[in-house]
Amino acid sequence: MHFDLNDLRLFVLTADEGSLTKAAAKHHLSLAAASARIKALEAQTDLPLLYREARGVRLSPPGQAFLHHARLMLHQVEQMRGDLHEYGGGLRGHLRVYANTTAVTDFLPEILPKFLANNPKINIDLQEKPNAEIAKAVQDGRVDIGIVSGQVDTLGLQSLHFSTDRLVLATSRQHRFAKRKRIAFAEILDEDAVGMHPSSTLQTFLGQVTERLGKPQKLRIQLSSFDAMCRMVGAGVGVGIIPESAAMRNQATMNLALIELTDSWSVRERYILTRDQAGLPSYAHSLIDHLRQHYATQTKS
C-alpha cells in the first residue's frame, strides 16, 4: 500500500468533522475531488472506510482502524520534520529514551541537567513507560536506550547494570509502624495507602504483588511523583512504598519514618537496555557513561 500524505490528512479531517463536504472545504478541494481521494484510499485497502449517510459520514470498523494508523503515520512525519529542522539548526544528536517511573520522576531529573549542559547540541526525548513496553520499544528500534529495574524480560537485548534500587515502607513518624526496623509487605495491606498513578511502573508492579497475595492495597490517593507521595505520607494520609532515594531525600523535612521491607523484590537492580551498544552514536555512549559515573561516584562517597 502506498498512501499519499495529503489523502491521509483529508481522511483524518473527514473523520473529525463527520462530513466530507466540510473536510473538502477546509482542505481547499472540491467535493468531487475529495470524494475521489477517499474512494482511492478505499480501493487501496479493498475495504469500506466510511459509511455515507444523509447528514454526513461515519467510520466503518475498518475505518476506525485506518484512522488510528493514519494519525500515527502523520504524527511520525511531523516528528521527523521537527527532528530534521533541529538538525538544520545545528543539532548534532537526538536521543529517544524510555524509562520506568523511578527513573523519570526520581533520579534522571537530577542527573540529566549536567549532561545536557555539557552537550548543548544533544536533545533527549524522555518518556515514562512500563518495563515490558520499554524492552519492546528498544527491540523494535523505536527508542535508542531503555532504563528498567527489577525482574524484566529483556527480550535478548544487551543490558548494562548501573545501580541498585531499594523500595522501603514510608510512614509518618506518628504511625504505629514507625518504630519497626523491618516489615513484610503483606503486613501493611490493611493500612490506608498512598500510591503512584495507576499506569506507573511501580504501581503496576505492586498490583501484581497484591494479586498474588489475594488482597489489594487500600489506596486513598494516587499521585504523579514520589515527592508528592512523601508529603501525603508525612501528613498521615497513609503509608507508601517508595524508592529509598526519594524517601531519604524527603525524610527530614516531611516527617517520615522509613522501614526496610523483608520482601526479596524490594531490592531491584537497574539496567540500561540497548539493541546493539557498539552501534550507538557517540552521544548515546556519553549518556550511558554519565549515568554509570554518577552512581560510581555515589558508591565511592
All residues at 6 or more sequence positions from 37 whose CB lies less than 8 Å from its CB, including other chains: 4, 6, 7, 10, 29
Q: Say if CB 90 and CB 119 are below 8 A apart.
A: no
Best-predicted range by mean pLDDT (47-56, 157-166, 226-235): 226-235
User: Stretch 110-138: mean pLDDT, rounded?
Assistant: 90
47-101 tens-digit pLDDT: 999 999 988 999 999 999 999 889 888 887 876 776 666 565 555 778 899 999 8
Band of pLDDT at residue 105, cut at 50, 70 and 90: confident
106-115 tens-digit pLDDT: 899 989 999 9
Question: And the C-alpha cell for 69?
Answer: 494508523
pLDDT of 89 reads 54
pLDDT of residue 139 exceeding 70, the answer is: yes
pLDDT of 296 reads 84
pTM above 0.75, yes or no: no
Mean pLDDT taken over the chain: 90
Alpha-carbon distance of 112 to 91, in angstroms, equals 17
237-259 tens-digit pLDDT: 999 999 998 999 999 999 999 99
Band of pLDDT at residue 130, cut at 50, 70 and 90: confident
pLDDT of 241 reads 98
22-42 tens-digit pLDDT: 999 998 999 999 999 999 999
Q: Where are the domains of the chain?
A: 5-87, 93-301
CATH number for the segment(s) 5-87: 1.10.10.10
> How many CB atoms within 10 Å of residue 275?
18
Q: Which of 156, 155, 146, 124 is nearest to 273 (CA)?
A: 146
Instruction: For domain 93-301, give its CATH number from 3.20.20.140, 3.40.190.290, 3.40.50.720, 3.40.50.261.
Output: 3.40.190.290
